[in-house]
Chains A and B, each alone.
Chain A
Amino acid sequence: MKAHEPLWLPVCGIADILPGTGVCALLDARHVAVFRVADDQLFAIDNIDPRSGASVLSRGLTGNLGDHLVVASPLYKNHFDLRTGECLESPEHSVRTYPVQVHDGLVSVSLS
């Protein structure tokens, strides 16, 4: 066993996430948005929209802008890169990302 194997926190079954959309998980008092996009790729970022402070990013529409895989905030439509958490319109509003994996149909996220 490796020394720093991350602690994976279970979220839900992969079938609980409608393809192309996201869900919000409460993990250790953190709100984490987990998205399932094309080809069942999974991404996890903070769910709180830094611009409004509301816990809503999992409810945004996903897609791509050029090479960026993105989610658009449902409130002000600013885009977050799902891989890096960068807010494309205003980088000062970027969010953090989390490792996410699926094992035997179970999605889990690491907060480390």
Chain B
Amino acid sequence: MKIIVIGHGMVGHKFLEELHQLGLPGAEVTVLGEESRAAYDRVHLSEFFAGKTAEDLSLVAPGFFPASGFTLRLGSRAVAIDRRARTVSTADGEILAYDKLVLATGSYPFVPLLKGNDRPHSFVYRTLDDLEAMRASGAVSRSGIVVGGGLLGLECAKALRDLGLQTHVVEYAPRLMAVQVDDDGGRILRGKIEALGVKVHTERNTVDIRDGATARHRMVFSDGTHLEADMIVFSAGIRPRDELARENALAVGARGGIAIDDHCRTSDPDIYAIGECAAWKDQLFGLVAPGYEMARIAARHLAGEASAAFTGADMSTKLKLMGVDVASIGDAHGRTAGCRSFRYVDECKQIYKKIVVSGDGKRLLGAVLVGNADEYGTLLQMALNGIALPADPEFLILPAGDGKAKPGLGPDALPDSAQICSCNNVSKGQIAAAVADGATTIGQIKACTKAGATCGGCVPLVTQIMKAEMARRGMTVNNHLCEHFPYSRQELFHLIRVGNIRSFADLLEKYGKGMGCDICKPTAASIFASCWNDFVLQGELASLQDSNDYFLGNIQKNGTYSVVPRMPGGEVTPDGLIAVGQVAKKYGLYTKVTGGQRVDLFGARVEQLPLIWEELIAAGFESGHAYGKSLRTVKSCVGSTGCRYGVDDSVGLAVELEHRYKGLRAPHKIKFGVSGCTRECAEAQGKDIGVIATERGWNLYVCGNGGMKPRHAELLAADLDKATLIRLIDRFLMFYVRTADRLQRTSTWRESLEGGLDYLKSVLLDDTLGLCDELEAQMQHVVDTYQCEWKTAVSDPDVRKRFRTFINDEQADPAIVFVDERGQKRPARADECAALA
């Protein structure tokens, strides 16, 4: 059977996945994609501006097409269907035969018909190509207008804000998100969005767009007022791409869209339509979940399951728009006959919550949540499963009183059939089954059930169900540090800090057993350093350090160590550089310039280390902590000091940051980058902390990584003044130091954080855990108690005498042999050692 799929978007690809899983024998599947890219995640499109790449957003699992045998043709647009001959013609003039045809053409952005709607620097917000064009325009714009204050319009406003533009939203209706929220909710939402610096203009009817006086465009409204901006994005709703159906006399819905029956068949039984292009009972569905459901139904029906039927879809949504929670469930506007509502408004905290209940008060029909959507999961399950409401339903949305627990809905109250993930139609029973099959982390649950893998809104509930199921089975998640301590690193950190524990012996006696090992000793030493910041080689602490921290150098494979003086921001004076060169020459050290903008010297024997460092300290250098799980370098570009594009003094800031955080012990090494403009020459977005200068201050990016698993850093906050920037970095670093696992870089820590970037923002920007003062104070303590470890080490005779190769002999290690290579010395290989001997 020849199957052609027209459209390779989210729903088209879901159909292919379903079909592949069903394993239809003899199926020959060709999919035509109009865009140059294979299916990608349009739900998270705005993350493109927060650092995600097209690859990050791709939905096609590596190897999917070779494994399925399906043929994907990109850049191939279907222009005509011949239903009698059962063929599809493409724009390239090719004619392809089909037995079954699936239309997954999606929708197109609606652009209001008005003069000037096609001027340069005006865009729609639909594809990655659109976003790339917006980004290019954003680089030469200062302000932007989004036409449309709906869900997509606000997403788009976030994108413009991320691009650093003064952002306006223009909406025809009297409120934002008119479909999902009511007047009161819309008012709160508006307040929140405006507080973020986005200007909202409602009840504006645009009549034309022309040249502006202060900016590229002027948008003129019917009331005679106008608004000027450099770029315009239309995001005023979507329309189904049903033109192929119309041209071929397939039935269409009353409001457009290709009419389909319960099996997703069009009026031609050999043609299916799914997703945003389809109209079921005259209804269009602009969300991904119903589209996915149609894809599943169409695939199963096509594979011969005659009973597979689409039965409509729940249009509840929960999303976070610029950090503002907005959720809408079921009958949000209270249109059911006889229904009643409960509302809670907090104009101080800007929270609005409403529930709509049935006339008899027994069932929940709908809800609107703005500003805080914590109850979404509970309310949605109550509405979907018809769970009986408590006697006083208002307590579902009222803030919890003193010591009174909110009437929640534990996972136990849900039936096994309850749909938990609506995007991928995963039930509670399937999640429980995955746990039974051995899944014990949210990552594993996502991988085997796909629950939470699309919009992520259900992840908290999925996690609860997973944990409850694990508890029911008597399983525990063992995150113990090692056999000596039945605690995670985070728990141990807390015990040490709160219990004011300062020695390993004390820690072992109170919370551990045995003698310790090469896992827990350095971990404890690192936590002691983060909390108390005593000299790491003082007394018992020295015995906890692994070789790198004990000898304050990185051990090399022949047992020698590296010497890395700190060069803050990559800045070094000519005299400093000469001194480093002289030391390297004197001790015969292999010398290499590193990616961290400093100079590494290799090949020092232990007994040479204090002598070398004495000379470096005399020349004004300090330890570079290249050996520690601690701040390494703050890389910078030249910045405004010399660069003709530089917006701010990146070197100056880098030097200041490096001095502030040098010596901070952490779960793993930490790297910073500071760029003086968006050209990003310091590659700050590949660092744990990245700072980029803007016209209005500094943008702070976090949790990036190069190395083994590159990860783009994400924007934590924009346009900060320096004091705020430093305060935020203090909080971020100390929160990471407190909560990460051992040897967990910020990037993997971020991936493991439940709630992701939003959670991080809530803790660090909104102080939802009430921790910020403490985090800042703790960091200030570390800053105030900094000492150069090498300076302390060389001036302490007890420490200094440990730097010898043999305890009973002055001679150097005869096993360390070097050979010459490219004018320097490098460790001899085994065969070279043998030849020399």
A and B physically associate: yes
Q: Spell out A's residues near B (CB within 8 Å).
A: 10-12, 16-21, 23-27, 31, 34, 37-38, 48, 52-56, 59-66, 69-70, 72, 74-75, 77, 79
Measured CA separation A39–B298 after assembly (Å): 73
Q: CB-nearest residue of chain B relative to A19?
A: B543
Contacts A26-B809, A59-B551 given: A21-B517 contact, CB under 8 Å?
no
**A63 x B559 contact (CB < 8 A):** no
20 more CB-based (< 8 A) A-B contacts, given A20-B544, A63-B520, A72-B518: A18-B542, A18-B802, A19-B540, A23-B807, A25-B806, A25-B807, A25-B808, A26-B808, A26-B809, A26-B811, A31-B813, A31-B815, A34-B807, A55-B816, A61-B522, A62-B515, A63-B484, A63-B515, A65-B517, A74-B548
Contacts of B521 in A (CB 8 A): 61, 63
Q: CB-nearest residue of chain B relative to A12?
A: B807
**B542 x A21 contact (CB < 8 A):** yes
Contacts of A62 in B (CB 8 A): 515
Kindly state whether residue B516 has any CB partner on chain A within 8 Å: yes
**A74 x B815 contact (CB < 8 A):** no
**B808 smallest CB distance to A (angstroms):** 5
Contacts of A53 in B (CB 8 A): 558, 815, 830, 833
**A56 x B542 contact (CB < 8 A):** no
Kindly state whether residue B546 has any CB partner on chain A within 8 Å: yes
Contacts of B807 in A (CB 8 A): 11-12, 16-17, 23-25, 34
Q: CB-nearest residue of chain A relative to B827?
A: A54
**A110 smallest CB distance to B (angstroms):** 15
**B634 smallest CB distance to A (angstroms):** 28
Measured CA separation A66–B540 after assembly (Å): 23
Cβ < 8 Å to A, chain B residues 464-522: 483-484, 514-518, 520-522
Q: CB-nearest residue of chain A relative to B550?
A: A59
Measured CA separation A65–B540 after assembly (Å): 21
**B557 x A54 contact (CB < 8 A):** yes
**B518 x A61 contact (CB < 8 A):** yes
Q: CB-nearest residue of chain A relative to B548?
A: A74
Contacts of A60 in B (CB 8 A): 518, 547
Q: Spell out B's residues near A (CB within 8 Å).
A: 483-484, 514-518, 520-522, 540, 542-544, 546-548, 550-551, 555, 557-559, 802, 805-809, 811, 813, 815-816, 830, 833
Q: Which of A23, A24, A64 is in CB contact (< 8 Å) with B515?
A: A64
Contacts of A18 in B (CB 8 A): 542-543, 802
**A57 smallest CB distance to B (angstroms):** 10
Q: CB-nearest residue of chain A relative to B813?
A: A55
Contacts of A27 in B (CB 8 A): 808
**B517 x A61 contact (CB < 8 A):** yes
**Pairs A-B, 5 closest by C-beta atoms:** A74-B547, A63-B517, A20-B543, A72-B518, A54-B559
Contacts of A79 in B (CB 8 A): 518
Measured CA separation A70–B482 after assembly (Å): 15
Measured CA separation A65–B833 after assembly (Å): 35
Measured CA separation A88–B483 after assembly (Å): 16
Secondary structure call for the B interface: loop
- A-B contacts, 20 of them at CB < 8 A, read A11-B807, A11-B808, A17-B807, A20-B543, A20-B544, A21-B542, A23-B807, A24-B806, A24-B807, A25-B808, A54-B557, A55-B816, A60-B518, A60-B547, A63-B484, A63-B515, A63-B520, A64-B517, A74-B548, A77-B518
**A69 x B558 contact (CB < 8 A):** no
Of the listed residues B543, B551, B833, the one surrounded by the most CB atoms of chain A closer than 10 A to its CB is B543
Measured CA separation A34–B522 after assembly (Å): 21
Q: Which of A12, A23, A37, A52 is in CB contact (< 8 Å) with B557?
A: A52
Q: Which of B516, B559, B802, B808 is in CB contact (< 8 Å) with A56?
A: B559
Contacts of B551 in A (CB 8 A): 59
**B517 x A72 contact (CB < 8 A):** yes
Of the listed residues B514, B544, B551, B811, the one surrounded by the most CB atoms of chain A closer than 10 A to its CB is B514
**A32 smallest CB distance to B (angstroms):** 10
Measured CA separation A54–B328 after assembly (Å): 65
Contacts of A63 in B (CB 8 A): 484, 514-518, 520-521
Measured CA separation A31–B809 after assembly (Å): 11
Contacts of B518 in A (CB 8 A): 60-61, 63, 72, 77, 79
**A56 x B547 contact (CB < 8 A):** yes
Of the listed residues B542, B548, B559, B811, the one surrounded by the most CB atoms of chain A closer than 10 A to its CB is B559
Q: Which of A38, A54, A59, A65 is in CB contact (< 8 Å) with B815?
A: A54
Contacts of A23 in B (CB 8 A): 807
**B515 x A75 contact (CB < 8 A):** no
Contacts of B558 in A (CB 8 A): 52-54
**B663 smallest CB distance to A (angstroms):** 22
Q: Which of B514, B559, B809, B830 is in CB contact (< 8 Å) with A64?
A: B514
Contacts of B816 in A (CB 8 A): 55
Contacts A61-B518, A61-B521, A65-B483 given: A75-B557 contact, CB under 8 Å?
yes
**A41 smallest CB distance to B (angstroms):** 10
Measured CA separation A59–B558 after assembly (Å): 13
**A13 smallest CB distance to B (angstroms):** 9
Contacts of B830 in A (CB 8 A): 53
Contacts of A61 in B (CB 8 A): 517-518, 521-522, 544, 546
